[in-house]
Structure 1
Amino acid sequence: MVEYLVPPARVDGSIELVPYDPQWVATFETLATDIRTALGPVATAVEHVGSTSVPGLAAKPIIDINLLVPDSADEAAYVPALEGIGYVLHLREPEWHEHRLLRPAEPRVNLHVFTAGSPEHDRMITFRDRLRTDPEAFELYLTTKQRLAAQRWEHVQDYADEKSAVVEQLLSGS
């Protein structure tokens, strides 16, 4: 069950995809440094994931970051420090890899928190790396994103859920 601490924003329209921006890498690096500094050894990994992490891929202009901590359910170990640098806890998904999502006011960031060793984190890294190295997978994902983004969606998550079939296809090596 998802527990929303901040209600999800409604889109009620199409999804904004923008051309790849090389600045996304520098933005991620700055954010990652801030997160590592705030958390110290609690941050076991900070990885750039999602479409903004794939050179050349059009994306929603939102940096996705995976943060691994020893136990993502132990919010007291990391949430206060992240709040100290401007992040707000938006949701908890205890039944889905103990996932937590935090966002700052600016820039547009989704900070996904998982427990170190999470298979979902590994899956996201595998998918990112496949898109970075396989031109056919890149093209299939890009065309799928563009087709779906042009449709009307109530919430961004609805769009993301609709992409899951192609993500699974690419992860399976097809």
Structure 2
Amino acid sequence: MTDMIVVSDYDPQWPEQFEDLRQRLAPHVADLAVSIEHVGSTAVPGCAAKPIIDLDIVVPEEAAMPELISRLAGQGYRHEGDLGIRRREAFQAPPTAPEHHLYGVVADSKPHLDHVLLRDYLRQRPDEIHRYSALKVALAQRFPADKEGRAAYSTAKSALVENLVARSYAARAAGAS
């Protein structure tokens, strides 16, 4: 039997796990990064998630990205390219590190804003957290944890994610006026 995708109830230890990862990374990128952000569902209290911490290392401009890639390579991270999302660079964690997803993003770029605005939007809306969590749990029960299953899982939740991202931008615009 194929393993299924694991989506867990919110774990209050996720922020601590993020902080541990941030502390490991910070000495290597502090002079280069604007911030290291906890993003994704594990950054939203009450949200069900795959129990894998997502981090963004935010750099001030595109010109800083080659140096970030070089420094992370020196720490055992493997650069995976943008994986189809321009201005976001993905990295595979070293085998000795706790499992996590690491991205390099340019400050205020669309990938950066998509991550932080969605996170902040969900943190303020328990009803949306519930809706998003319920979808993820249902989809995890439908798809195996192999490459094709994970891709199908992501595709199946993309319409809701896109809707939530659009709402997060609208909420930001309404707050700015």
Aligned-residue sequence identity (percent) comes to 35
Q: Aligned-residue CA RMSD in angstroms?
A: 2.3
Equivalent position of 2:153 in the other structure: 159
Equivalent position of 1:107 in the other structure: 98
Contact kept in structure 2, 1:97 and 1:115, CA below 8 Å = no
What's the offset of the Cα at 1:95? Answer: 5.6
Alignment counterpart, residue 137 of structure 1, candidates 106, 128, 145:
128
Equivalent position of 1:45 in the other structure: 35
Contact kept in structure 2, 1:49 and 1:65, CA below 8 Å = yes
> In the aligned structure 2, how far is the partner of 1:144 from the partner of 1:15?
13
Aligned residues: 162
- Between stretches 152-161 and 26-35, larger displacement belongs to 152-161
Residues 69, 35 of structure 1: alpha-carbon distance in 2 compared, 3 angstrom cutoff: same
When the two structures are superposed, what TM-score results if normalisation uses the length of structure 2?
A: 0.80
When the two structures are superposed, what TM-score results if normalisation uses the length of structure 1?
A: 0.81
What's the offset of the Cα at 1:85? Answer: 2.8
What are structure 1's unaligned runs of at least 5 residues? 1-11
What's the offset of the Cα at 1:142? Answer: 0.7
- Between stretches 147-156 and 108-117, larger displacement belongs to 147-156
Bigger strand share: 1
Bigger helix share: 2
What are structure 2's unaligned runs of at least 5 residues? 169-177
Alignment counterpart, residue 116 of structure 2, candidates 98, 117, 125:
125
Residues 150, 162 of structure 1: alpha-carbon distance in 2 compared, 3 angstrom cutoff: same
Correspondence 1:62 to 2:52? yes
> In the aligned structure 2, how far is the partner of 1:166 from the partner of 1:138?
11
